[in-house]
Structure 1
């Protein structure tokens, strides 16, 4: 049984009564309340009826809520119209936000209590999974979402999506390369985006380019680095963003102009929130924990991961393909839960080197079955100059969209500026 102090019946009554009396449907979206937040089953039913009235674009008032409850066969269970009238006598429009925050706080406390209770039971039986407990507790402080919609709710969501599109609002973060954004609309919220390539093609550079472009667009972002030390990450951000020749920076051969450009490139980090977790072969639970923490405390708009095959699954003794499959599914779930794009790198099998045409295909992605199934966008990266010194395509990168749930698939050719490790459109000048 849930402890009594983990609910606030009075706050639930005051908030519901205020919404019904004043017809303030905006409280539902403004305060982020959903049915699961209520501890009382009666109040869950009343909130559901209010939501249905709102989705039908009708005025919220006692009789309409009562009629909706009757249509749902809930009216008698909640105490009939007299209880609805009683709620309207317990209102406070000025304190509605306070009551909403109390309702949500108590919901999180109940959820945390249930997690800890289950953890104690698991510990007593010798089956405690500490990472799972921590991840579940972190989930209680992330932004809550509504998971259930009726037909009117779906219609309203579609209208809102169209309005955003007509206003030119990105439903996530831009890639920052115009031809890619034109083809895809950028990296969409809740999407898992995969960039696959052989080593030395520049896939980490492309990922960092996308991250830098998002930061220059004002987005707070998170970066999981399973391979590159944090100092190198900072160096590459400064060189790419400041148009500094990376090989000179690595050797400490910058002149005054180069040093000024390096400082200018690094100044980006003074203006935005970049969170980095740098650990060789982190577990997927660690990735989830950091992403949820960053979302709650820093408001990150996107998560960048370098790279999928370096992340461990929950069972270290499982086959590698099983671990990769688990990692991919949980990254996709993470994108949906946090409502942000998760953009990841993936390695391509060395078998492509044995072919005449070394451009990677979907089946060349290492442990690719779950990646193909779960990803919303999959792009491969290829630069012919890596294999052919005399190629006419020096300075050209091919980004081939193999899967794209938001638009067409196909090949884009972009410019690769090797000294600065930068990808851009050919028309773009620096």
Structure 2
């Protein structure tokens, strides 16, 4: 498209700038609706930014003060001459809302055209169709909240009114605080999986983080609590299926892999198939999925089946858009993108992550949040972090006793709990034995109370 005249209005931009100079009380109202980037003409955008910078100093805005603050605009023209001409020719400040609407709407249209041009360019580069669609949907998602007509704020009384209704519903049992993980002590620790949150489950390779993530989604789907979507960027779907059958049917995973089932395994297998066959648990084992592609798949599932929980295994295998400077920056962008998916789709997201091996070098070998590999942004973005710790140098660890350490949670006190890993069944179960002895450094932790294997830090 060579002619974009219909996608901007010099008259509206001029009138909006003039209105600010003629009525100082309009500044906050206009700047709340229109940004510098919304102006098409660079000269108008530059003058608008000068107005914003001048207002921040506490000075009034008129042609003289603007000129004193910045005598020349990018074109080299005098600020006082350009600003004075705009102020003189502004027909009326009473119509500022109409001017602001025109400027903002045309800015959105230009961005839509830019997004369409980008899609066309991608198509010309013969990129995969799925990748082009994901990019287009990402562009549309970026535009979705530009101008909804809704205010960007709410009176606290409105928020509290909704909270009271929700508290009452929880009290009566009509609504749960969050989805259950299927593990009693873990539920007590994290107080349920909440909508719009990201829970990081991290561990060393072989610690059981994949088992735990899959099991949570499986429990939610198979108990009728909701619809689960699992992204396995490393493990093929066939292995995910065998793990689900082993977990639900109490069948040794090695037997399923070999196909050498014993007589008593067959009824268990039949029972497991019945329990999972029609349940709303969906999987994708596509490798190298990017954040936009993950969002696209989640939106498909939500549109067709509903969606209540998403599990992604794991962040280190999520594909890059190629725009970051290094892998740490890349993972930071990915982490923030996953948080946006949780908010946009109104679901809890469980994001698996690797830990570095620093924890194995410290006394007690217990991991901490900063052991998350490659990016502190992951730790910062997470609403809740669960570190899977199984000390394989101890007898308890050899027997599957695993500690789930929660060093961060925005809706519950930090703490830890114990679970029993049954590796041959690819699952965790509630821990019913005696709590393992603590290491020397563990005894100094300020636990406020303990119950059913759960410890809370205050």
Q: Residues 120 and 249 from structure 1, CA distance in 2 versus in 1: closer, same or farther, beyond 3 angstroms? A: closer
- In our comparison, the structure showing a higher alpha carbon Rg is 2
SS in 1 for 2:164: helix
Query: Is the Cα contact below 8 Å between 1:378 and 1:402 reproduced in 2?
Result: yes
Residue equivalent to 2:136: 133
Match of 1:174 among 173, 180, 186: 180
Query: Is the Cα contact below 8 Å between 1:189 and 1:335 reproduced in 2?
Result: yes
Query: Aligned pair count?
Result: 321
Query: Is the Cα contact below 8 Å between 2:222 and 2:280 reproduced in 1?
Result: no
Which has the higher mean CA deviation after the structures are superposed, 117-126 or 261-270? 117-126
Q: CA deviation at 1:137?
A: 4.6
Residue equivalent to 2:251: 244
Q: TM-score, normalised by structure 2?
A: 0.63
Residue equivalent to 1:314: 321
Report whether the alignment pairs 1:229 with 2:236.
yes
CA distance in 1, matches of 2:380, 2:213: 21
Aligned ranges 1:83-102 → 2 under 5 Å: none
Q: Residues 321 and 145 from structure 1, CA distance in 2 versus in 1: closer, same or farther, beyond 3 angstroms? A: farther
Residue equivalent to 1:119: 115
Aligned ranges 1:101-116 → 2 under 5 Å: none
CA distance in 2, matches of 1:288, 1:352: 33
Q: CA deviation at 1:406?
A: 1.3
Q: CA deviation at 1:141?
A: 11
Q: Deviations for 1:318-348, whole angstroms, at most 9, x for unmatched residues?
A: 3111111011101011101111000011000
Residue equivalent to 1:203: 209
Residue equivalent to 1:359: 366
Query: Is the Cα contact below 8 Å between 2:222 and 2:276 reproduced in 1?
Result: no
Query: Is the Cα contact below 8 Å between 1:223 and 1:275 reproduced in 2?
Result: yes
Query: Is the Cα contact below 8 Å between 2:419 and 2:428 reproduced in 1?
Result: yes
SS in 2 for 1:200: coil
Report whether the alignment pairs 1:426 with 2:431.
yes
Q: CA deviation at 1:209?
A: 1.4
Report whether the alignment pairs 1:377 with 2:384.
yes
Query: Is the Cα contact below 8 Å between 1:172 and 1:340 reproduced in 2?
Result: no
Match of 1:258 among 258, 265, 277: 265
How well do the aligned residues superpose, as a CA RMSD in angstroms?
A: 3.3
CA distance in 2, matches of 1:338, 1:192: 12
Report whether the alignment pairs 1:158 with 2:154.
no
Query: Is the Cα contact below 8 Å between 1:138 and 1:293 reproduced in 2?
Result: no
SS in 1 for 2:365: coil
Q: CA deviation at 1:241?
A: 0.9
Q: Residues 374 and 264 from structure 1, CA distance in 2 versus in 1: closer, same or farther, beyond 3 angstroms? A: same
Residue equivalent to 1:408: 413
Unaligned runs of 5+ in 2: 1-5, 8-93, 99-105, 125-130, 434-458
Residue equivalent to 1:397: 402
Q: CA deviation at 1:113?
A: 8.3
CA distance in 2, matches of 1:233, 1:420: 12
Unaligned runs of 5+ in 1: 3-73, 79-109
Residue equivalent to 1:285: 292
Query: Is the Cα contact below 8 Å between 2:231 and 2:284 reproduced in 1?
Result: yes
Residue equivalent to 2:304: 297
CA distance in 2, matches of 1:239, 1:336: 33
Q: Residues 139 and 266 from structure 1, CA distance in 2 versus in 1: closer, same or farther, beyond 3 angstroms? A: farther
Residue equivalent to 1:329: 336
